[in-house]
Structure 1
Amino acid sequence: MAQRLRLGGIAYGGDYNPEQWPEEVWAEDVALMRQAGVNLVSLGIFSWAKLEPRPGEFDFGWLDRVIDGLHAGGIAVDLATPTAAPPAWFQRAHPDDRPVTADGRVLGYGARQTYCPSAPAYAEACARITRELAARYAGHPAVVLWHIHNEYGCHVARCYCERSAVAFREWLADRYKTVDALNEAWGTSFWGQRYDSFEEVDAPRTAPSAVNPTQQLDFRRFSSDALLARYRAERDIVRAADPDVPITTNFMAGLTDNLDLWAWAREVDVVATDHYTSAERPDNQIGLALSADLTRSLAGGAPWLLMEHSTSAVNWQQRNIAKRPGEMARNSLAHVARGADGVMFFQWRASRAGAEKYHSAMVPHAGTDTRIWREVVDLGTRLQQLAPVRGSRVRAQAAIVWDWESLWALDLEYRPSVELNFRERIDAYYERLWRAGVTVDFVHPTADLSGYRLVVAPSMYLAPTAWAENLRSWVRSGGTLLTSYFTGIVDENDAVHLGGYPGALRDVLGVRTEEFLPLRKDERTKLVAPPRIEGAGAAPGTAGRWAEDLTLTGASAVLQHADGPAAGRPAVTRHGYGEGTAWYVATAPDSGTLDAVLRAALADAGVRTPSGVPDGVERVRRVAEDGRGWEFVINHADTEAVVPGPGSGHVTVPGGAVEVLDIASNITGGVV
């Protein structure tokens, strides 16, 4: 981690909510935690009403006893500020500080995150409870991490009340300086929306038709910044009181899209995230890997902390399918394989009451005579054995461009097709790379790309000049770039780059599109290869969703449409640019064709893909500074898999199991 926790090994534990239980249960909890190998718990996340039962009146006695008991049992604490759940007395005193939706509905009390982030009274109340907590527990030997709030933006990412509108105007004035600059950026001459002062600008509330897209995009930016300001305020209070203990908050990387986590990641000492698999997806291990890779990338490659995941079923999916035997350990170790130095759950003990009472936990409703508890204990033992892995890093030769602003902009109305979707294209390309055994990082468009051989940009809709030049110069110096359709189209204000598509990237891709030709729902076109892609096979491929009236301005056609609105037009192109190569995939090929295109681009980039690895087997390496390394071989299939070892010979991994190999000595670390 960017700042190490004072722990002897990999962090293991979960959210602990002792206030839900009689005090006589607390000693039992500590004893069970020791049995399970727990060394860290998150504490106090939803405790505001108990810590401050009335405004300005505090009760810390119970929390003192909990923390002291945990410390005596050798269990460290990730101490939270409880500001994600304002008490009932706050709601009663400040009814106007509840969040308001875009269509004017005021959200009621009875859940969590019931607040407007721009409300002064909420900010003051947060500061008060945070100051009291920090003053009381700064320097406590049990507290090894401070945890600000919980899952910012999870339920209420944007508030449209009048307080938010005022704060939005202030944000705009700071960003644009003059109203003329705002008018230029927003293109307000269209539909007669021109403003004469910032005071005339409103939040983008529900209107008769589509609200100005740049206004909506800026409101997403503002809303992320407004929540970040709340985080910073609490963090700075804690930092002043306890400067030597790292501070974090829990992201939801890959699960929610409400925050620009590139900006947020710069503000935490330890990057932490929550992740829950999509239970109904039979290949949900791919989404898990994507989230882990994204979190590691937010951490700049440093180890990170899995703050929450589930032992089995969650409570909020449509069908809360239980995890099969061994799946919890497999999920946990997959996160460790991709850089996590901590495995935490929501929660320690399953709740008897409340909205999440059917969410699985480390101690289930049925108690310790259960499969889940036995697997919890076994996982604790395994993580203790893997303590030497702590601090090592994952290395990747390929990267995927990920930009939350492009995601927000693509989500707006009046795009050329309803099937233009940021995550759909990201997921399609990530899955093929995962199945090819290629470990990837995620990068912001402005990132230093010099350490990568291949960069994939499936959904970089926004392409400000500086972002496009970063990719262009990297290709010119020898990189291999692969982009998908609707990339490079607009600038930072959602204004179209003129002269033909794909806008800012036309020259590096060597193509020019005059018109988009989106396909009808379920329409497929045939793809033919002039010449055939090596390894693609004799059968023609197909494509859906999208096509373009595309012409070549230096690139060569690799695949073309045989029918449909773009019949005879290139569908996949390849262009030598400077010392590098740029590929353009101007449609959505079937998975086999996309796999062939990606493998050809990988070959261009000199990235070798592993051979002899059965489908469903995941292999990831972590390497320490001293050169020692570990290879995680994760078998997601039900049947035994035989895979090549990191040196010579082969490794047999039972169905559903995980093998961890010491690369230096080629010694097996055991099977889960």
Structure 2
Amino acid sequence: MPDTAPEGPDGLVYGGDYNPEQWPEEVWQEDVRLMREAGVTLVSLGIFSWALLEPEPGRHDFGWLDRIIALLHENGIRIDLATPTVAPPAWFYRDHPDALPVSRDGMRHAFGSRGAICHSSPAYREAAAAITEKIAERYGSHPALALWHVHNEYGVPVSACYCDTCAAHFRRWLRTTYGTLDAVNAAWGTAFWGQRYGSFEEIQPPRTTPTTGNPAQRLDYARFADATMRENFVRERDILHRLSPGVPVTTNFMTALSQCDTVDYWAWGREVDLVSNDHYLITDGRRTHVNLAMAADLTRSVAGGAPWLLLEHSTSGVSWQPRNPAKAPGQLARNSLAHVARGSEGAMFFQWRQSRRGAEKFHSAMVPHAGTDSRVWREVVRLGADLTSLAPLRGTRTVAEAAVLWDWQSWWAQRLEWRPSEDHDARERADSFYEALYDRHLTVDFAHPEAGLARYPLVVVPALYLATEAAGDNLRRYVEGGGTLVVSYFSGIVDEHDAVHPGPHPGAFRDVLGLTVEEFSPLGEGEKVRIATADGAELTGDVWTEFVVPRGAETVWTYVDGLTAERPAVTRHRLGRGTAWYLSTRLDAASLGTILGAAAEDAGLPSRASLPRDVEVVRRSGESGSYVFALNHTGTDAKVPLPADGTELLTGERAAGGLALPAGAVRVVRLDG
């Protein structure tokens, strides 16, 4: 089994995607000189280079790659070497046009972008395996090789293809998954609308239909598409393991971006040797550093709590959003070190040198168009020095205090058509619950609904529409054992086939919550409801209400108005040694914070009320010691209490009794003892 960290660098890694093929060779010497000036230790190489490495079918040209790898090696820079299978050459599509993916409505995509792949295509699979084998044979034992990088951002921009090749592959997958046609018909509920199948050959992909199609079939097709991409990854990974033993293999995830949620990263995390992630700030008016923290926590959780690697983020603005603002002075380092605080073993960027041509020429880079006499370059050099100072952190682990249940397959099911309200957005609830925990200065792990939860005092379930009976049993055991659980509305409703659990809602969670739901009562657009306690305190909800019937739970907050007036809105159920809360409406940020504060008290978690909003404090611990990261995302100086005295690693100053944290700054304290 390979190691689970890049080979070579002793401390945290630093660098980015390097695309020397975009530049004349005389630029390469300058690039490597600047890399050394910036403290770069690792670069990702060859991600989009298939057309150069194999300019004609079966004819290979590795000369340019040999030369750049040798130059990097001579200068002490290690490589994360890619298999370039995300971008097959034009000649491949000329010879195999059926390898281009087909959309649900029958449109075949054209060559000219990236990731335009039918992952069921036998021709693609064979060609991808062949180029991977050639690269591994040539470079598998090269002393500069630190990491293998398979493909690039699986599922972006296309995860599912609906062509006839995929139809045949889907039928094979169904035979393997279900065994019999009767089992498929039962799982999909094909008795509804006369959809019953008499043979496997009658089954097609869930292409566009006159009205909404079979949701269970749609859900299974999402699973099939994800599994098909993963099959291709595993094939390439196994070639690399065979020809380059001991070198870890990764592929770059995009865990928390809602645009990239077609991949079940719980399953993928079990297949890579090192979990790595790409993260870009979504500048839609929300607090970008909260989504960054969420992405880092989620990536660490996919890694099982082990250290992981930030493989891409941006030095400043990106190029693909409606508006692409620059990062503020100091934000480059603050963003990078926020990922490190939450478990990354370094910071990598897309990309090293900003492109002059192509779709991403306005995407920022470590060497910007402005060159080295620029703010971005000076901040890049400073970050390299800071990461060198943090070398002792390598191998330590981030300490979490609460867990959020997260399941990509539940997202897939929730976003299908014909749900009770189009205003309910499961991902919005997940973001809101995470933000409320962040604002209580709690570090969060994410967990699969069937994973062990006993180590967490508090577990939150923002919106888990799809939940198996096993997940329900898992939560009941957690609460009975002394845990505190918070569940949001429209959770536990259907099983893994999108079939409603027998009996009253909330199905899988009835027992643990001590209640039933007679009926959902979604609200009209813009409509709000008030909920109150017996002493008159009020909170505000919108989008959703329910007719809740306590079956052992106590009513904590009651609806004041609307169809559900005088009915329970928020309940608490004492079960065994623990407590389960239920929220039957969508609460605004302040109201949600109130409820989660009460649940955190039940869980015995500290309030940390003395810490200002948007001052982030995270702890990493391991054999080398215990470290406190403090990040100030505000424009005001702050004071951060410390559990013990220590030494601040970026400045060398002693921290006794507390830590002075300037506006916009990051400090990392190695605690004494």
TM superposition score category, shorter chain reference: over 0.9
2:544 to 543, 546, 563: 546
CA distance in 1, matches of 2:5, 2:287: 33
Q: Which residue of 2 aligns with 1:476?
A: 480
- Alpha-carbon deviation of 1:478? 1.2
1:586 to 569, 584, 587: 584
CA distance in 1, matches of 2:566, 2:12: 56
| TM-score normalised to structure 2 length | 0.97
| TM-score normalised to structure 1 length | 0.97
- Alpha-carbon deviation of 1:280? 4.0
- Alpha-carbon deviation of 1:664? 2.1
Aligned partners of 1:406 and 1:422 also within 8 Å: no
1:588-636 Cα shifts (integer Å, max 9, x gaps): 112122111111111111122323101110000001135x111111000
Q: Which residue of 2 aligns with 1:640?
A: 637
Aligned partners of 1:391 and 1:624 also within 8 Å: yes
The one-letter code of the counterpart of 1:336 is V
Aligned partners of 1:446 and 1:466 also within 8 Å: yes
Q: Which residue of 1 aligns with 2:652?
A: none
Q: Which residue of 2 aligns with 1:611?
A: 609
CA distance in 2, matches of 1:569, 1:526: 12
1:320-367 Cα shifts (integer Å, max 9, x gaps): 110010011000000000000020000000001000000000000111
Aligned partners of 2:7 and 2:145 also within 8 Å: no
CA distance in 1, matches of 2:671, 2:435: 26
The one-letter code of the counterpart of 2:603 is A
Q: Which residue of 1 aligns with 2:465?
A: 461
CA distance in 1, matches of 2:503, 2:30: 70
Q: Which residue of 2 aligns with 1:89?
A: 91
Aligned partners of 1:26 and 1:66 also within 8 Å: yes
Q: Which residue of 1 aligns with 2:566?
A: 568
- Alpha-carbon deviation of 1:281? 2.8
Q: Which residue of 1 aligns with 2:383?
A: 379
CA distance in 2, matches of 1:414, 1:316: 31
- Alpha-carbon deviation of 1:420? 2.3
CA distance in 1, matches of 2:292, 2:111: 33
Q: Which residue of 1 aligns with 2:648?
A: none
CA-based RMSD of the aligned residues comes to 1.1
1:405-438 Cα shifts (integer Å, max 9, x gaps): 1000001000001022221110110000001000
The one-letter code of the counterpart of 2:307 is P
1:656 to 648, 659, 664: 664
CA distance in 2, matches of 1:414, 1:127: 41
**SS class of match (1:218):** helix
CA distance in 1, matches of 2:177, 2:355: 45
- Alpha-carbon deviation of 1:3? 4.0
Aligned partners of 2:471 and 2:508 also within 8 Å: no
| Percent sequence identity over aligned pairs | 56
CA distance in 2, matches of 1:660, 1:522: 45
- Alpha-carbon deviation of 1:192? 0.1
CA distance in 2, matches of 1:326, 1:646: 27
2:231 to 212, 217, 229: 229
Aligned partners of 1:549 and 1:566 also within 8 Å: yes
CA distance in 1, matches of 2:620, 2:20: 36
CA distance in 2, matches of 1:274, 1:215: 31
1:190-209 alignment, distance < 5 Å? 190-209=192-211
The answer to whether 1:629 aligns with 2:660 is: no
- Alpha-carbon deviation of 1:529? 1.0
The one-letter code of the counterpart of 2:516 is R
- Alpha-carbon deviation of 1:643? 2.4
**SS class of match (2:398):** coil
**SS class of match (1:425):** helix
Q: Which residue of 2 aligns with 1:34?
A: 36
Q: Which residue of 1 aligns with 2:171?
A: 169
The one-letter code of the counterpart of 2:82 is A
**SS class of match (1:482):** strand
Aligned partners of 2:514 and 2:573 also within 8 Å: yes
CA distance in 2, matches of 1:308, 1:300: 20
- Alpha-carbon deviation of 1:498? 2.3
Q: Which residue of 2 aligns with 1:670?
A: none
- Alpha-carbon deviation of 1:645? 2.9
CA distance in 2, matches of 1:324, 1:459: 34
Aligned partners of 2:399 and 2:618 also within 8 Å: no
The one-letter code of the counterpart of 2:399 is R
Aligned partners of 1:526 and 1:541 also within 8 Å: yes
CA distance in 1, matches of 2:118, 2:178: 24
- Alpha-carbon deviation of 1:5? 3.2
Q: Which residue of 2 aligns with 1:257?
A: 261
CA distance in 1, matches of 2:38, 2:292: 24
2:107 to 105, 108, 113: 105
CA distance in 1, matches of 2:239, 2:351: 27
**SS class of match (2:335):** helix
- Label 1:278 to 1:376 Cα distance change in 2 as closer, same or farther (>3 A): same
CA distance in 2, matches of 1:593, 1:26: 56
The one-letter code of the counterpart of 1:599 is G
1:325-344 alignment, distance < 5 Å? 325-344=329-348
Number of aligned positions between the proteins: 658
The answer to whether 1:212 aligns with 2:220 is: no
Q: Which residue of 2 aligns with 1:500?
A: 504
Gaps of 5+ in 2: 645-655
The one-letter code of the counterpart of 1:651 is L
Aligned partners of 1:228 and 1:264 also within 8 Å: yes
CA distance in 2, matches of 1:376, 1:567: 57
CA distance in 2, matches of 1:126, 1:97: 12
1:475-528 Cα shifts (integer Å, max 9, x gaps): 111111110001100111110012211111111101111100001111100111
**SS class of match (2:573):** strand
2:291 to 287, 292, 304: 287
1:263-290 Cα shifts (integer Å, max 9, x gaps): 0000000000000011343511000000
The one-letter code of the counterpart of 1:641 is A
The one-letter code of the counterpart of 1:661 is V
CA distance in 1, matches of 2:609, 2:670: 20
CA distance in 2, matches of 1:419, 1:157: 26
- Alpha-carbon deviation of 1:243? 1.1
2:456 to 438, 452, 470: 452
1:128-207 alignment, distance < 5 Å? 128-207=130-209
Aligned partners of 1:399 and 1:440 also within 8 Å: yes
CA distance in 2, matches of 1:558, 1:450: 25
**SS class of match (2:530):** strand
Worse-superposed segment, 275-284 or 565-574:
275-284
**SS class of match (2:146):** strand
CA distance in 2, matches of 1:5, 1:613: 39
CA distance in 1, matches of 2:80, 2:4: 16
- Alpha-carbon deviation of 1:650? 2.9
Aligned partners of 1:396 and 1:440 also within 8 Å: yes
- Alpha-carbon deviation of 1:209? 0.8
Structure 1 runs of 4+ aligned residues shifted over 6 Å read none
The answer to whether 1:116 aligns with 2:118 is: yes
The answer to whether 1:324 aligns with 2:328 is: yes
- Alpha-carbon deviation of 1:448? 1.1
1:246-301 Cα shifts (integer Å, max 9, x gaps): 00000001011010000000000000000001134351100000000000000010
The answer to whether 1:556 aligns with 2:554 is: yes
CA distance in 2, matches of 1:5, 1:142: 9
CA distance in 1, matches of 2:32, 2:69: 11
